[in-house]
Amino acid sequence: PRHSPGRFLGVMPAYSAAEDALTTKLVTFYEHKKDSSVPSHQATVLLFDPRNGSLKAVLDGSVITAKRTAAVSAIATKLLKPAFAEVLCILGAGVQAYSHYDIFMELFTFKEVRIWNRTKENAVKFANSVNGPVQVCSSAQEAVTGADVIITVTMATKPILFGDWVKPGAHINAVGASRPDWRELDDELMKNSVLFVESREAALTESGDVILSGAEIFAELGEVLKGTKPALPEKTTVFKSLGMAVEDTVAAKFVYDSWSAGN
């Protein structure tokens, strides 16, 4: 609703011929001023049969969003992280922090994991509830200094990660700041790193970090996966994640097929 600031309804339709799947994700995003028991993002995915248009399933879009977003960050990290990545840093302690932590622990081997969150008790709660050792840092700078892989999953609207803190050659997954006027990363970091996105078109209309910094997009992740653009893991790299509807389509079809096979 436009008249209410900080409240959005997103509609994300997509069709994949390869998956033989048609979906729409509905997302409500309500910025909560006070700590609320209700999450900021709530989502539902509708899966249709592309042959006749009938509704086949209604899926928990919040779980799908959390897992597919983290999976895409993990793919970017696999391609772009430095060869010796020992320290992982997570800025933010919400739903996406948990889903990213889970998949990153499954796929990579880090010697040290650090977390910072604006509200420290949420970072402490995170450290106490995940399966491995996590160091709670009292400032974002402390968490970031010397980190090889950095994940920003915050509700920030102004930069919380600054280029002069970042170790040269580090890889950053920037997941928050999904509005054209919101930022997580400062100009210095955006301009002095190699920038990868999911979709050029989306990044140039939706990402404040990309639009307001004027940073040049080097490649889409798909171009790197196809081999038409190099990954450049030796450089400082930023993957600006915004999410694409087709990621929900693929994830929803995967869940539905697994469920069908079991029934």
pLDDT tens-digit profile of 183-225? 999 999 999 999 999 999 999 999 999 999 999 999 999 999 9
Alpha-helix runs per DSSP H in 130-231: 140-144, 187-191, 200-206, 208-213, 221-226
CATH at 258: 3.30.1780.10
- Report which DSSP code applies to 121: H
Q: Are residues 53 and 151 in the same domain?
A: no
Residue 14: strand pairing partners: 23
pLDDT band with cut points at 50, 70 and 90 for residue 16: very high
What confidence tier does 35 reach under pLDDT thresholds 50, 70, 90? low
With respect to residue 219, please indicate whether it lies within any of the assigned structural domains.
Answer: yes
pTM as predicted: 0.93
Q: With bands split at pLDDT 50, 70 and 90, how would you rate the model's confidence at 263? A: confident
Q: What is the pLDDT of residue 7?
A: 86
* pLDDT at 71 (0 to 100): 98
Cβ neighbours around 152 below 10 Å, total: 28
Distant-in-sequence, close-in-space partners of 262: CB < 8 Å, separation ≥ 6: none
Burial class of residue 51, CB neighbours in 10 A (0-12, 13-18, 19+): exposed
Sign of the dihedral defined by the CA atoms of residues 80, 142, 180, 71, in that order: positive
Interval 149-178 mean pLDDT: 97
Assess whether 38 and 104 both reside in one domain. no
The answer, yes or no, to whether residue 233 has pLDDT greater than 60, is: yes
Do 122 and 44 lie in one domain? The reply is: no
Residue 243 predicted with pLDDT over 90: yes
Alpha helices by DSSP H, 57-159: 61-80, 95-107, 120-129, 140-144
Does the pLDDT value for residue 34 go beyond 70? no
**Residue 2 pLDDT > 60, yes or no?**
no
| Total domain count, the chain | 2
Residue ranges making up the domain that contains 152: 69-244
Residue 2 lies in a domain: no
Its sign, for the CA torsion 184, 189, 191, 195, is negative
How many Å apart are CA 17 and CA 50, to the nearest integer?
9
Question: Residue 1 falls within a domain, yes or no?
Answer: no
Tell me the residue length of the chain. 263
Least confident piece of the model among 32-36, 45-49, 68-72, 151-155: 32-36
Does one domain contain both 138 and 209? yes
In this structure, the answer to whether residues 198 and 102 fall within a common structural domain is yes
Structure tokens belonging to residue 1 = 């609703």
Residue 128's pLDDT is what? 98
- Among residues 3, 5, 15, 59, which one has the least CA distance to residue 245? 15
Strand (E) positions, the chain?
7-16, 21-30, 41-48, 55-60, 87-91, 112-116, 135-136, 149-152, 171-174, 194-197, 217-220, 237-240
Mean pLDDT of 115-144: 97
What are the phi and psi torsion angles at 57 (to 5°)?
-160, 150
SS3 of residue 41 by DSSP: strand
What pLDDT is attached to residue 1?
A: 47
Q: Is the pLDDT of residue 99 over 50?
A: yes
CATH number of domain containing 225 = 3.40.50.720
Are residues 81 and 195 both part of a single domain? yes
Q: What value does the CA radius of gyration of the chain take, rounded to a whole number of Å?
A: 18
Answer whether residue 3 shows pLDDT above 60.
no
* Residue 195 shares a structural domain with residue 258: no
According to the model, what pLDDT value does residue 6 have?
78
Place of tokens 């653009």: 229
% the chain with pLDDT above 90: 92
Q: Are residues 217 and 95 in the same domain?
A: yes
